[in-house]
Structure 1
Amino acid sequence: MTRRTQVVVIGGGQAGLAAGYHLRRLGLDFVILDAQAGAGGAWQHAWDSLHLFSPAAYSSLPGRPMPIQAGKVYPNAAHVVDYLTAYEQRYELPVHRPVRVDGVHRDGQLLRVESDSGTWRARAVISATGTWWRPFLPAVPGRDVFRGRKLHTVEYRTPADFTGQHVVVVGGGNSGAQIAADLAYDTELTWVTQRPARFLADDIDGRALFDAATARRRALDAGTADTGGVASLGDIVAVPPVREARDTGLLKASPMFTRLTADGVEWADGTVAEADAIIWCTGFRPALSHLAPLGLRGPRGHIPTTGTQAVGEPRLHLLGYGDWTGPASATLIGVGRPARDAAHEIAALLNGTRSAPRN
């Protein structure tokens, strides 16, 4: 079955919903195609103890403030899922799920979106699939030799699954620190990082990170000196569980090991540590395989953009993948502005004030 609409949004998480909000306000005809069975995007798959870096008031999508979660300064993932569910209902966003998009193709003056639930033809597409679905694993010597359990951030849920075990957590970012802190009390923990762990000052949370990312983007756009953005402040937000584990001496980072063995890990000086499980908190790559037919991929797997608009295909916008698609656009508070910009640029294209490419 083939259907037609003005705009197809691919992905029904926070970025897709923010795009839908602004498309709705502009009166455009659109659909949101989401591969998940339920609302909430990647948040519904997060580990049990995950909390936001910012208070609810600083974690909202456009138009609707996130309610405060009773008894918590930083809302947990379940609260975010409830918020996103209520958000799409409040604005009656046309989310179709579960729909998995296989590919986006040029089709004359339209873009053809092929999915497991049929075909949509649209004058513009917003890709908002995020990164959660494409975890990154580094090529460490001996990775295939290790006999213990191997999992990535996306597969971790609770420390109860590892009680009494030797666990190695790899990664010096927020996920690595939070999961290591989660495991510090009930396991024999080894936390390893590529470089010494850099904690942000205890009074810094997501509000300051958003401001830093925005200031950096403005500086780069103005051609002035790079402020360094979030990276200049540190790598790890000291949310209360991380701070507690750090201050009690349970969260200490070791340098990165050089190889895996059958029973654990080994450093260059011959030091070894046993491991029943290794949890790779080593980040993600943008989930863009559905855009492969357009032939737009650039360095590091990114698609070159101007703002959110793909340089090689003006009818395509990318939203929520990180700073390269808008300052802090992979965050709840940060995605609103680039979503608004994308929606307005698409409206201009549809109204004929900007030109579509000729094939």
Structure 2
Amino acid sequence: MRSIFDTIVIGSGQAGLATAYYLQKNNLNYLVLEASEQTAGSWPSYYDSLTLFSPARYSSLPGYQFPGDPERYPTKREVISYLVEYANHFDLNISTGERVTEVQKNQGVFQISTSKQNIFYAKTVVSATGDFARKCIPDIDGIDVFKRLKIHSSEYKNVEQYIDQRIVVVGGGNSAVQIAYELAKISNVTIATRRPLSFTPQRLLGKDIHFWLRITGFDYLPLEKWFSINTSVLDEGIYKQAVLNNEPERKPMFMSFTEDGVIWEDGKEEKIDTVIFATGYRPNVVFLQSLNGALDALGSPLQRKGISQTINGLYYVGLSEQRSFSSATLRGVGPDAKYVVKKIKSLKLDME
């Protein structure tokens, strides 16, 4: 007789771990399926110098405080260590090396297939693969003819292979500016953006901005009540000053590629060694394609506040702006996971 879980969670990054915590707390029979061999989500793939944009004090998953100095900005390695420690601390039910390839639903039960040819069954499914696993690269005129190096920021690790190059970083967010800033120390770097860069002070009146977001309630406001600052770069002053010094410089987005460079807005052509796209990600939910109506024409989930609008029993945690400005962050996945698990428990009670 096949075993049917109350819930199967896909992905054991920050979103999956927070979801598992609340499922376990509510005594639901669950299993987390993780594609890789560790419980750290997309964090191992990020560039080496990445640090959190929020202090440790505001970067914890539910039930377990981020260790160490609460005012510091944790490094990539520290986040990975914390996520692994979190899963071990709560002894969460996670099966690694199980990449989900397809989700189907038959007679009210979800059937989840993995790359190991294993099949799992569940009454509900939570897609917790988040927004940081599927690269988003804009379709720019001539991109296919460009013969020099072009990479997504997820492929960038450190400055070693880019010394004395002419580099263009595309994008105006935190990662774009952070990558361009460190590369500008060893190469000639330009940040190309469609709008001027916007900077938000990291600290106000001696407190990190996340302190003010938390005490004012802005961090968890519903999106319809939130003014957007998510394209601003959080900065203690070093990035803005560096851009003012043209280290790196900022220029309007180039118009097109050539075989060995780009054509800028003013019509000038320039040879470029490397183009780095810090242009974000799309939800990694290709395994849901067999669920007719689960995704829109672009492959994005049809959901509202983490609840599928078309498939009963299908949920999401970790999507950008899912319920609030902070939804896809370490500090934001907890409230969203709690909300989704509450819906799952209500559905389970209705089914009994």
TM-score (norm 1): 0.89
SS, match of residue 245 in structure 1:
helix
1:177 — aligned with what?
177
- Preserved contact between residue 222 and residue 323 of structure 2 (Cα < 8 Å): no
My pick for the range that moved more, 196-205 or 33-42, is 196-205
Gaps of 5+ in 2: none
1:344 — aligned with what?
342
1:88 — aligned with what?
87
Offset of residue 86 of structure 1: 0.4
- Preserved contact between residue 31 and residue 93 of structure 2 (Cα < 8 Å): yes
1:26 — aligned with what?
26
1:321 — aligned with what?
319
State the AA in 1 paired with 2:338. R
**Cα deviation 1:150-183 (Å, max 9, x = unaligned):** 1101100001120111111111111111111111
Offset of residue 350 of structure 1: 1.3
SS, match of residue 281 in structure 2:
coil
Distance 1:239 1:290, change over 3 A: farther
- Preserved contact between residue 111 and residue 125 of structure 1 (Cα < 8 Å): yes
- Preserved contact between residue 201 and residue 236 of structure 2 (Cα < 8 Å): no
The separation in 2 between residues aligned to 1:19 and 1:150, in whole angstroms, is 36
Distance 1:336 1:83, change over 3 A: same
State the AA in 1 paired with 2:76. A
1:282 — aligned with what?
279
The separation in 2 between residues aligned to 1:150 and 1:50, in whole angstroms, is 20
2:332 — aligned with what?
334
- Preserved contact between residue 30 and residue 94 of structure 1 (Cα < 8 Å): yes
**Cα deviation 1:108-148 (Å, max 9, x = unaligned):** 12111111230111001100011222101111111122121
My pick for the range that moved more, 119-128 or 35-44, is 35-44
- Preserved contact between residue 308 and residue 326 of structure 1 (Cα < 8 Å): no
Offset of residue 95 of structure 1: 1.1
2:45 — aligned with what?
45
Distance 1:243 1:37, change over 3 A: farther
Alignment: residue pair count: 344
Identical residues among aligned pairs (%): 32
Does residue 255 of the first structure (1) align with residue 252 of the second (2)? yes
The separation in 1 between residues aligned to 2:334 and 2:34, in whole angstroms, is 19
TM-score (norm 2): 0.91
Distance 1:273 1:282, change over 3 A: same
1:223 — aligned with what?
none
SS, match of residue 342 in structure 1:
helix
RMSD between superposed Cα atoms in Å: 2.2
- Preserved contact between residue 46 and residue 157 of structure 1 (Cα < 8 Å): yes
Gaps of 5+ in 1: 221-225
SS, match of residue 270 in structure 1:
coil
Does residue 140 of the first structure (1) align with residue 137 of the second (2)? no
My pick for the range that moved more, 126-135 or 1-10, is 1-10
The separation in 1 between residues aligned to 2:9 and 2:284, in whole angstroms, is 14
State the AA in 2 paired with 1:345. K
- Preserved contact between residue 53 and residue 205 of structure 1 (Cα < 8 Å): no
Does residue 297 of the first structure (1) align with residue 290 of the second (2)? no
